[in-house]
Amino acid sequence: MLVSYNWLRNYVNLDNVTPEELAEKITRSGIEVEGIEYLAPKSENIVVGYVKSCEKHPDADKLNLCQVDVGEESLQIICGAPNVGSGQKVAVAKPGAKLPNGMKIKKVKLRGVESNGMICSLQELGLDEKYIPVDVAEGIFVFPEDAEVGVPVQELLNLDDAILDLDVLANRPDALSMLGVAYEVAAILNQPMELPDENLTVDESIEAKDYIDVKIDSIENNPYYGAFIIRDVEIKPAPLWMRNYLMASGIRPINNVVDITNFVLLEYGQPLHAFDYDQFGSKQVVIRQGKVNETMVTLDDQERQLNENNLVITNGKEPVALAGVMGGADSEVTDETTNLLLEAAYFNSASVRHTVKQTGLRSESSTRFEKGVDPNRVKRAGIRACSLLQKYANGKIAGGVVEVDELDKSEKSVTVTTAKINQRLGMELDEKDVTSVLSRLQFEFSKNGEEIIVQVPTRRLDISIFEDILEEVIRIYGYDHLPYTIPQGWVQAGGLTDIQLLQREIKNYLSSAGLMETLTYSLTNEKDAKRFLTPDIEEKPAYSVGLAMPMSEEHSHLRLSLIPEMLRVLQHNVARTQTDLAYYEIGKVFISREEEITNQPIENLHVAGALTGLWHNHPWQQEKKPVDFYVAKGIVEGLFAHLELNVTFVQTKMEDMHPGRCAEIRLNGKGIGYVGQVHPLTAKDFDVKETYVFEIDLESVFAVHQLTPSFTDIPRYPSVTRDIAFILDNDIPAGDVQAVIKEIGAPLVKEVSIFDVYQGEHMEEGKKSVAYRLLYQDPSRTLKDDEVDASYQEIIEKVNNQFGSYVRS
Amino acid sequence: MKEELQAIESEALAAVEKAEDSQALQEMKVKYLGKKGSLTTVLRGMGKLSKEERPIIGELANNVRASITEALDAKTEKLERAALDKQLETETIDVTLPGNPVHVGGRHLLTSIMEEIEDLFIGMGYEVKEGPEVETDYYNFEKLNLPKNHPARDMQDTFFITNELLLRTQTSPVQARTMEAYQGNRPIKMICPGKVYRRDTDDATHSHQFRQIEGLVVDKNITLSDLKGTLDVFAKKMFGKDRKIRLRPSFFPFTEPSVEMDVSCKVCNGEGCSVCKQTGWIEILGGGMVHPRVLEMSGYDSTVYSGFAFGMGQERIAMLKYGVNDIRHFYTNDVRFLSQYHQA
Ligand SMILES: [Zn+2]
């Protein structure tokens, strides 16, 4: 809402408060002033001049030579505007004047003729082109005849005005009107208010009911409709002050009738609509719901398709306006209009909102109906408009208003006590602190013992309960007076849950392991949403969740894996010559088990990593180690070692992964993730080089993890190690043999590690040598050589039997 | 004999002093102290001495042996040290060459901010609650006093999945779920951090996905002053102990009264500058007293219980605290951005 400071002065005394101070006070009391704009910076030496004569420049067709009376003197001015003419009152910038755009006016010679000033357009005086009336947009501005010659134009054109831009939130539709803002400002400044003139002299010879009848078929959407009849109006420009205020408020003046309805709309917050009575098409207004297949042409010359959700104004035959949104082209007020039908009505906000959503037509009127108008101001706005039409359009106001009225105009009452207010605020206000705020807001109240019974004026639609009055009291009394306290009484030990602590622990580990955390979008494209699924997701049909109306295809579906968006992050960095990257992310994936989603999807927390380029690089020592499968796997193994969980790795195949370099990660035999190389074709898709990734379902980890490890005594007795190298067929996984050794050797074998793998020269075709180191230990005694030897022999024998291997000598 | 022993001692000490390598010292040890060494030879003549002289000479002989041994040991150590020094000198390297690089990872800046805020409130006795990102209309809106067709729903452009399912536009549904779970019969002190989603076109100040953190305290006699005091603690911890806060009235459907909190601008110390648009204040977060309808809908008797709630965008806090100028940096994950703020 743009609020003109000068306009506001008509209702509240602002003599002791500058626009800046006022803006600050309004902001601190509840409605944020987002900015202050001055219409035009102070410009002097621009006055009203009278064009005594105007003739063609002797040497230039398009220039006029004007003699202009500016009060003390007469100036010869050359003017190029097409609309200049003798007898006009115009804005003259005298030599020495400075225009808002920085231009300095000097005496000049144009084609040999002296020009001692400039006749100005409104643009040149600093007004925004889009608010300038069409008839003067292409040329100079012409003042009404009664403008006094020699007077500075600054005040006459309201150029010294400051415009406050109020950010009015949904709870304060009352502040979408000058009167509403005036009530607010009067309360803030503790000043009395002056209300607009609603005096009206009706023409006793005409009765509105003889001209019009009103019938409402949809009373729940339109509980009040008032029809005023104004005859014999004279269409002309509105008075200059009114045009000034409209332009300052961001509305372009059109003619006196349209301007008056707009003026009252801004002043009262009540939209009005003026129909050309003679083009209305009947003597009856019928308000009803639209019909399917019905159409109408709105003021903007668009044909609109209607349906039963649109409330329409009709002439009994066909729609003439979309109620509260836009009028029809046929009954528009034009220069030929002489008789008016003026509508002041209350349209239900949900109904108007529906039509706005459907048509996309949002206007000053519809916005106010959508947010709610004051039921007690509807008819008064009509009367105010009639009073102005009488004054500024010489209209004859018909007696009576034809109306249908089932509108609830009653005031709510809310009961409060000072004690309860203090209890909720944590303050010690006196009763008179409370009642003085109510008086400043012009809320009437009565007292009953401790109770204060507040009558809430209908302009304040936002107030209906105790807490609303509480807010009024503290915002006007001042939030700065609130003390600073901390909740007393009940105490609990704050903290993170085990699962939250575990997430932090995983972040600690991965960060320390050299990976950088990323944060990517949960929404991705449809194709990528369903790639790189962990085995726990794939075990049943899984669907990605799509948005009903995505903003773009790139962000249309919720991800089932963190990897695709992480690959995109790699790509972004690689394209910026950052080639060695190691990233991790912890975030949710969204799994729907229904093809047509009806329930909330399963949300599982995942951890994923993506690595590419060099893992280690020490150039002058010629040490370079690119990321490979075992780097990625080592990070995963380290993670589970850190979490004290045993996982196993099983060769697997996945669509987007290298067929020979991918392992499923299993926890207690259940697949919970994978680690491996991204398939070269997929990598190409994402425009990344050789890349290794892992992804793990953390919900499976949380399900088995014990946050507090149990204590195990440090071994007191020495351990014994034995090494064995087995010659194995190439396709036997070394890890399988390792697991079997551990199984056979239990409980004496505590650890089995692989310390050498050899393939190639001196090795039989199709075979490999894998060397294992076995660690024997008993926590309660020193082991004897012969029992270790016996176990060692048993292991060799059983492994050879199971895998067809033999021991390398 | 006494003279003989003294002569041996002085001869030996002088020889040790002159020795230049360990082999020479070894030879001297044999020559003076060995089984056939000069000291032993002299002592063989002890038998000729009188009973009175014997212990005197014996003691002298021991002293001479000790003195020579000590000199030999000292000289040995000195020579060994010299040899070591010489060897180490040859092992000198260029310490100005770069070291072995360590891959440094780290948390995302937003995670660091979130954990900092979490820890601050945990210290004040808050628990940390989480909830689903795909929410129902009921928990995201209706339970928070935003019935269907409420005009304030326009404030939040929502990604709908179906008529009833949506991506949460705020973390407040976690508050509603917690209140409901506690069934109106115990106080609450909680914060809920998490991702939220809105239909905004991504630009320097908007992101269709961002993170919030909200707080909720419900108990008997919770006051607006409690909210002000709590936010003051928060602001001073996050932005510096010299910062001041102020509350301004605002509007949120789930709180009444509702407030915005501003923090005094640290760039200009409240004098007014371009960062704070000349106001001296920077808007940080919104909050208020929990609307009685919200309490009642979750089973809390609003005549007995009252509460306050507040919520903020984590990105905004991070941007203000670290001077980040574009919200998209958080989601582009450019390594050159991330590594500026890493913290393991
Ligand atoms: Zn500042």
ipTM of model = 0.86
Q: Is residue A493 part of a domain?
A: no
Contact residues, chain A, for B223 at CB < 8 Å: 423-426, 485
* Cβ atoms < 10 Å from Cβ of A560: 28
**CA dihedral in degrees (B189, B194, B200, B203; nearest 10)?**
110
Q: Is residue A488 part of a domain?
A: no
Q: Is residue A179 part of a domain?
A: yes
What is the whole-number distance in angstroms between the Cα of residue A53 and the centre of ligand 1? Answer: 56
CATH of the domain at A146: 2.40.50.140
Does residue B77 sit in the same domain as residue B163?
no
Does residue A209 sit in the same domain as residue A253?
yes
Nearest-CA residue of chain B relative to A35?
Answer: B277
Q: Is residue B101 part of a domain?
A: no
**What are the pLDDT digits (tens) for A476-487?**
999 999 999 999
**What are the pLDDT digits (tens) for B205-219?**
999 999 999 999 999
Does residue A285 sit in the same domain as residue A333?
yes
Does residue B73 sit in the same domain as residue B135?
no
Alpha-carbon distance A736 to A757, whole Å?
A: 14
In this structure, what DSSP letter does residue A208 have? G
Alpha-carbon distance A257 to A259, whole Å?
A: 5
Quote the radius of gyration of chain B (alpha carbons, Å): 42
Q: Which residues, other chains included, contact A499 with Cβ-Cβ below 8 Å and sequence gap of 6+? A: A702
For residue A454, the SS3 value is strand
Beta carbons of A584 and B187 less than 8 Å apart = no
- The arithmetic mean of pLDDT across residues A697-701, rounded, is 96
Beta carbons of A423 and B199 less than 8 Å apart = no
Q: Is residue B234 part of a domain?
A: yes
Question: Residue A402's closest CA among A348, A343, A346, A347?
Answer: A343
Measured in Å, how far apart are chain A's first and last C-alpha atoms? Answer: 92
Question: Residue A446's closest CA among A435, A433, A432?
Answer: A435
Q: Which residues pair with B113 in a beta bridge?
A: none
What is the whole-number distance in angstroms between the Cα of residue B322 and the centre of ligand 1? Answer: 15
Q: Is residue A355 part of a domain?
A: yes
Chain B nearest CA to A383, separation (Å): 29
| Cis peptide upstream of residue B257 (ω within 30 degrees of 0) | yes
Domain boundary among A359, A387, A405: A405
Question: Residue A805's closest CA among A762, A749, A767?
Answer: A767
Whether B208 has its CB under 8 Å from any CB of chain A: the answer is: yes
**What are the pLDDT digits (tens) for B83-121?**
999 999 999 999 999 998 888 899 999 999 999 999 999
pLDDT of residue A575: 92
Q: Do the Cβ atoms of A70 and A119 come closer than 8 Å?
A: no
**CA dihedral in degrees (A324, A325, A326, A328; nearest 10)?**
-70
pLDDT of residue B293: 94
Beta carbons of B228 and A523 less than 8 Å apart = no
- Given a cut of 90, whether residue A407 has pLDDT beyond it is yes
> Model confidence at B60, in pLDDT bands (50, 70, 90)?
confident
Strands (E), A537-690: 557-558, 581-591, 602-612, 614-618, 623-626, 647-651, 657-667, 670-678
Alpha-carbon distance A716 to B124, whole Å?
A: 45
> Model confidence at A84, in pLDDT bands (50, 70, 90)?
confident
In this prediction the pTM is: 0.85
Structure tokens at B97: 């060459």
Does residue A535 sit in the same domain as residue A683?
yes
What is the whole-number distance in angstroms between the Cα of residue B282 and the centre of ligand 1? Answer: 8
Q: A731 is in which domain, residue-wise? A: 720-807
Q: How many domains, chain B?
A: 2
Q: Which residues, other chains included, contact B175 with Cβ-Cβ below 8 Å and sequence gap of 6+? A: B129, B144, B190, B192, B214, B216, B309
Nearest beta carbon to residue A512 from set B105, B136, B149: B105
Q: Is residue B96 part of a domain?
A: no
Does residue B70 sit in the same domain as residue B136?
no
For residue B241, the SS3 value is coil
Beta carbons of A486 and B124 less than 8 Å apart = yes
Contact residues, chain A, for B340 at CB < 8 Å: none
Contact residues, chain B, for A550 at CB < 8 Å: 159
Q: Is residue B98 part of a domain?
A: no
- For chains A and B, CB pairs below 8 A equal 251
Lowest mean pLDDT among A40-49, A615-624, A787-796: A40-49
pLDDT of residue B62: 87
The label of the residue with tokens 């083009």 reads A279
Please state the φ and ψ torsions of residue A111, each to the nearest 5 degrees. Answer: 50, 45
Measure CA A120 to chain center: 41
Q: Do the Cβ atoms of A580 and B335 come closer than 8 Å?
A: no
Structure tokens at B80: 């060994």
Does residue A51 sit in the same domain as residue A85?
yes
- The arithmetic mean of pLDDT across residues A395-405, rounded, is 94
What is the whole-number distance in angstroms between the Cα of residue B233 and the centre of ligand 1? Answer: 21
Please state the φ and ψ torsions of residue A609, each to the nearest 5 degrees. Answer: -135, 155
- Given a cut of 60, whether residue A146 has pLDDT beyond it is yes
> Model confidence at B344, in pLDDT bands (50, 70, 90)?
very low
Alpha-carbon distance A770 to A752, whole Å?
A: 12
Nearest beta carbon to residue A617 from set B101, B105, B106: B101
Does residue B76 sit in the same domain as residue B123?
no
pLDDT of residue B156: 61
Give the residue with greater pLDDT, A41 vs A666: A666
The label of the residue with tokens 């909330």 reads A600
Q: Which of A507, A586, A602, A617 to mutate to test the interface with B (most CBs of B within 10 A)?
A: A507
Does residue A302 sit in the same domain as residue A357?
yes
Alpha-carbon distance A600 to B138, whole Å?
A: 12
Q: Which residues pair with A2 in a beta bridge?
A: A165
What is the whole-number distance in angstroms between the Cα of residue B257 and the centre of ligand 1? Answer: 28
Q: How many domains, chain A?
A: 6
**What are the pLDDT digits (tens) for A626-635?**
999 999 999 9
Alpha-carbon distance B212 to B311, whole Å?
A: 7
Beta carbons of A523 and B223 less than 8 Å apart = no
